[in-house]
Amino acid sequence: MTVTIGRRERLAALGGAAAAWPLAARAQQPVRMREIAIWMGRPNDAEGRRHAAAFREALQSFGWIVGRNIRTDYRWVTGDIDRGRMAKEIVEQQPDVIVVETTVGVEALARESRTIPIVFVNVSDPIGSGFVTNLAHPGGNITGFMSNEPTLGSGLTA
């Protein structure tokens, strides 16, 4: 018994395959690796590595796994470095986000990029430094965590 497929059936089969092709292609694509540049405000010593390990563990708790869906590039501050050059090198890599530990690091990075998100840690006065417009709505590409809150100490006297 011979089965013949008419022109309409062939076009319908090809059309269905063509419609399904983009879905199959998307399903098989690897996960996009995100890039995180980290400006460590300390040398690459035991204490610095503990901070880096804690950061990796925190990322992992949110599903961000180094080597699986993120890549990290640590920059360690050692000795007398050219912060401007280091900031420029980081920005030229075009990471998805930059995490920075120090006020001087934020300062250097802010001069180099107005588009890459910069998240700061251990900055004591981000408003006074001009990094953010206010704490509730930082504006721009810079946000982060203060190392202290000035209003907590306003009622204390010496």
Q: Which domains does the chain have, with CATH numbers?
A: 34-152 (3.40.50.2300)
pLDDT at position 157, please? Answer: 46
Return the higher-pLDDT residue of 18 and 116.
Answer: 116
Q: What mean pLDDT is reported for the chain?
A: 82
Parallel, antiparallel, or unpaired: how do β-strands 118-123 and 142-146 relate? parallel
pLDDT value of residue 11: 46
CA pair distance 144, 101, nearest whole angstrom: 10
> 3-class SS at 118?
strand
pLDDT at residue 39, as a whole number = 95
Residue 64: per-residue pLDDT: 95
| DSSP letter assigned to residue 36 | E
Whether the CB-CB separation of 146 and 126 falls below 8 Å is answered with yes
List residues bridging with 66 in a β-sheet: 70
The larger pLDDT score, comparing residue 156 to residue 151, is at 151
Q: Give the tens place of pLDDT for each residue, 23-50.
A: 555 555 677 899 999 999 889 999 999 9
> Would you say residue 21 has pLDDT above 70?
no
What would the pLDDT profile of 134-144 be if each residue is shown by its tens digit? 888 898 999 99
d(Cα 37, Cα 86) in Å, to the nearest integer?
11
Q: Name the more confident of 32 and 95.
A: 95
Of 141, 74, 78, give the one whose Cα is nearest residue 114: 141
